[in-house]
Structure 1
Amino acid sequence: MSLADTSQEIGTLNDDQRECIENCFEATEVCEWCADECLGDPDMEECARLCRDVVDIASLHARLMARSSDYSGSLAETCAEVCEACAEECSQHDADHCQVCADVLTECAESCRQMAS
């Protein structure tokens, strides 16, 4: 069963919440990839560090949303902020993994901002 199929089974979530969960998990995947590609390059340390922050915060935010936690709204704002910071950093690098990461993170930040409001 895919993530989309699984999130459809969670009846308490609306479409915006499902989309945000999927965006957070996609951000987690792409940031793991980007951080791994940045390892060993001193010029990419900040990129890797921010990617690791996104992985932790976005995965936690998705889990809190999935269980309808009262704390997911306040974490949504933090998730949006770290995604935006990481997207800004990644967009400064020419590497494909950074460019893909910046695109995914921009979308994730937008959906997290919706969840925060």
Structure 2
Amino acid sequence: MSPTEQPSHVVHLTESERTCLRLCQQAVTVCEWCADECLGMGGEMADCVRLCRDVTDVAALHAQFLARGSAHREALAGLCATVCRDCAAECETHEHDHCQACVDVLRDCAAACEAMVK
């Protein structure tokens, strides 16, 4: 897969894994944006920043595991679901556009990751 190809072109993945890969990539993007915005808002947003950073690290790693067909992708799926749910719960408590943008993406990502856990 070239860097410009979409996850749908990764033939070794199931459809649910492709969906999970796409959602992990979206979670990374939205959480990077949210964390960056929250950094400029002062200390009251520290938990949001920390949780967004957790998501970006774990979701990016999970996407890499998925893309290469790692035997450990299912184990990481559970952790990814957990950090996405925790971050969504935190972001939901804030009215900022960047926080609200995280909520739906993170819930969808968590559900897709949970579906991979057997």
Q: Which bracket does the TM-score occupy, shorter chain normalised?
A: over 0.9
For residues 66-107 of structure 1, the C-alpha deviation after alignment (integer angstroms, 9 at most, x for no partner) is 111111101000000000000000000010110110111000
Over aligned residue pairs, what C-alpha RMSD do you find? 1.4
Q: May I ask how many residue pairs the two structures share in their alignment?
A: 116
What pairs up with 1:1-117 in 2 under 5 angstroms?
A: 5-40=5-40, 41-117=42-118
Tell me how far apart the structure 2 counterparts of residues 2 and 68 of structure 1 sit (CA, whole Å): 16
Tell me how far apart the structure 1 counterparts of residues 68 and 30 of structure 2 sit (CA, whole Å): 23
Tell me how far apart the structure 1 counterparts of residues 68 and 98 of structure 2 sit (CA, whole Å): 31
Tell me how far apart the structure 2 counterparts of residues 89 and 6 of structure 1 sit (CA, whole Å): 30
Q: Which amino acid aligns with 2:60?
A: S
The DSSP-based 3-state class of the residue aligned with 2:56 is helix
Structure 2: stretches of 5+ with no match in the other structure: none
By how many angstroms is 1:9 displaced? 2.4
For residues 31-82 of structure 1, the C-alpha deviation after alignment (integer angstroms, 9 at most, x for no partner) is 0000000003111000000000100000000110111111110100000000
Tell me how far apart the structure 2 counterparts of residues 29 and 112 of structure 1 sit (CA, whole Å): 17
By how many angstroms is 1:12 displaced? 0.6
* Same amino acid, percent of matched pairs: 47
Q: Which amino acid aligns with 2:92?
A: S
Q: Which amino acid aligns with 1:65?
A: L
Query: Which structure carries more helix by proportion?
Result: 1
Q: Which amino acid aligns with 1:31?
A: C
Q: Which amino acid aligns with 2:94?
A: H
